[in-house]
A = this chain, B = another copy of it.
Amino acid sequence: MGVNSNRVEDFSSHRINTEPVMPGMEIHTVCLSPKKTTLQKLKQRLSEIFFPDDPLYRFKNQTWRKKLLLGLQFLFPIFQWAPEYRLKLLRSDIISGLTIASLAIPQGISYAKLANLPPIVGLYSSFVPPLIYAILGSSSHLGVGPVSIASLIMGSMLSETVSPRDEPILYLKLAFTATFFAGLFQASLGLLRLGFVIDFLSKATLVGFMSGAAVIVSLQQLKGLLGISHFTSKMQFIPVMSSVFKHRDEWSWQTIVMGFSFLVFMLTTRHISMKRAKLFWVSAAAPLTSVILSTLLVFCLRSKTHKISFIGHLPKGLNPPSANMLYFSGPDLELAIKTGIVTGILSLTEGISVGRTFAALKNYQVDGNKEMMAIGLMNMAGSCSSCFVTTGSFSRSAVNYNAGAQTAVSNIVMATAVLVTLLFLMPLFYYTPNVILGAIIISAVIGLIDYQAAYCLWKVDKLDFLACLCSFFGVLFISVPLGLGIAVGVSVFKILLHVTRPNSLIMGNIKGTQIYHSLSRYKEASRVPSFLILAIESPIYFANSTYLQERILRWIREEDEWIKANDRSPLKCIILDMTAVTAIDTSGIDLLCELRKMMEKRSLKFVLFSCSLCWQIPSEV
């Protein structure tokens, strides 16, 4: 980074001054970008915004037939892997498919409960969406189904307005409608290539949000675990806790004993699987084992345990169509759309990040925008076949990956297993106690409380940690959407704060070279007499131009004082190193003009260097 090595541009006259500012310099001139029309610039900018990965590069220089095939493969990734599918892969896929089915069935029932929906809807949601994803999705390891966070949010947002107990049909309609809008929103994000929207949910925000949601979900399960029948439908910490303790007379010891023993069992299996990755099946099988054991227990003791509530009758048969239940007008449409967008964006975030995680482990790439369309279409199809919001679930995908899944066939196997259950095995769940569903939910969400990640945030970046805390407490005490909103606000504020208060550094020469570096970072660098070289480490925007003006004038004032105190030769020239100034807006240009005027009044030379953006400055300034 040498002052010598750049086009030295005298900003005021707007012509290239090839005389070196300092003696003994070589000049390398910046070659200005060729003049482009507004339309060309717009086109380039838009392609950089919406197509950074150049998704059509495969289509270049191909025959028409090949292009057609590639297009088909692009739209339906199944055509990419299906022709190469070999029977020996089938064995692994069947094993992993059955393993995730054993997890999917109890989880499906539990998460439907979490969303205040009939348990059977959870099973429906583990049948149609995985089949659609198998055709459209580009990840081989994603295990598709309902997830805790999206279910929780759908349940809490809808039940604040409509009571699932008093108006079950309206509630169901709203849930399907919200699912439809979630899918529509997700698919449009993908289609419009606006995938970067989910990037604004930073890791810090998500860590806090997930932990807060996990705490709330776990506390809500105390309803089932303690056997309370009158419980608040609110989602905040305080009403939930007061519900728990207000109805102490409803606590039933049989329920508590059963619930907590199975909870301990599942947490122990989870611990074992975490210690040894090979024993992943221990925790994968635990929920189904618990369901079977507890159902048997309740069945055997059914005469003595009338205090333990159980699921009861579940209808046999395939997903009934529900397109007629969608709800496109009426007073609650706004609620459905809002719920759809919030659950849509959260389930999308989970699905994409899970997909990316496992793709990185196997060294293939997942196209975010295509995944969004796949997840969105799967939810839109789901909403027409009695399913609620689904996405790629972390727990299911991890089990799928560890069980050796090779392709999306494992999702098809899982769907087939769920189909068999729906057709023949539903009566077996008659005596399954509700308490076990609570235990399954708690053991699933407890892993979301990631205190290690929070500690890491604290170590690396205090403001990230603050965003994390905001979303945690926001979710816990205020509400899920507001908590998320606050956390996104804090993250964006952090970016803006950095933009508003950018670094500026004094540069000095490294003796014997033509290289210039920051005085504070390089001990070998020393001041150049009569010159003040400042590096500005940020684009110059309206948001920081005032600050930069004050800061630069302060640098000059301090330099003057230092010169006076040390009796050096007076300041002659101010050089601004614009290397890191990668963008400038009208306020930034005003700042430069203003500074130039001030320097002229003090008879100081004012030079910009390494200024690749000068061509933007119109000649009249």
Contact = CB atoms under 8 A, between A and B. Distances in A.
Interface stretch (A320-328, A412-420, A535-543): A535-543
A539 B457 CA distance: 18
Contacts of A545: 199
Given A199-B542, A547-B199, A460 B496 contact: no
Of listed A41, A42, A517, residue having the most chain B CB within 10 A? A517
Contacts of A550: 52-53
A17 interface: no
Contacts of A38: 462
Nearest to A463: B585
Interface residues of A, number: 91
Contact of A590 (B203, B365, B523, B539): B203
A492 interface: yes
Contact of A464 (B52, B586, B594): B586
Contact of A498 (B5, B539, B616): B539
Contact of A582 (B31, B464, B538): B538
Contacts of A554: 52-54
Contacts of A368: 546
A152 B226 CA distance: 61
A590 B203 CA distance: 10
A368 to B, nearest CB: 7
Interface stretch (A156-164, A268-276, A500-508): A500-508
A246 B11 CA distance: 56
A594 B202 CA distance: 16
A89 interface: no
A91 to B, nearest CB: 27
A601 interface: yes
Nearest to A38: B462
A30 interface: yes
A456 interface: yes
B587 A202 contact: yes
A196 interface: yes
B203 A587 contact: yes
Given A28-B522, A517-B28, A618-B456, A363 B202 contact: no
Given A513-B5, A586-B456, A580 B543 contact: no
A40 to B, nearest CB: 12
Contact of A5 (B28, B515, B580, B589): B515
A597 interface: yes
Interface centre among A199, A545, A590 (most CB of B within 10 A): A199
Given A49-B497, A496-B492, A542-B204, A585 B464 contact: yes
A116 to B, nearest CB: 33
A478 interface: no
Nearest to A2: B515
Given A495-B499, A579-B1, A203 B586 contact: yes
A26 B514 CA distance: 13
B521 A612 contact: yes
20 contacts: A5-B513, A28-B517, A28-B524, A31-B523, A38-B462, A49-B501, A52-B501, A52-B554, A199-B545, A202-B587, A360-B597, A368-B546, A456-B620, A459-B618, A460-B586, A460-B589, A460-B618, A461-B585, A518-B612, A580-B580
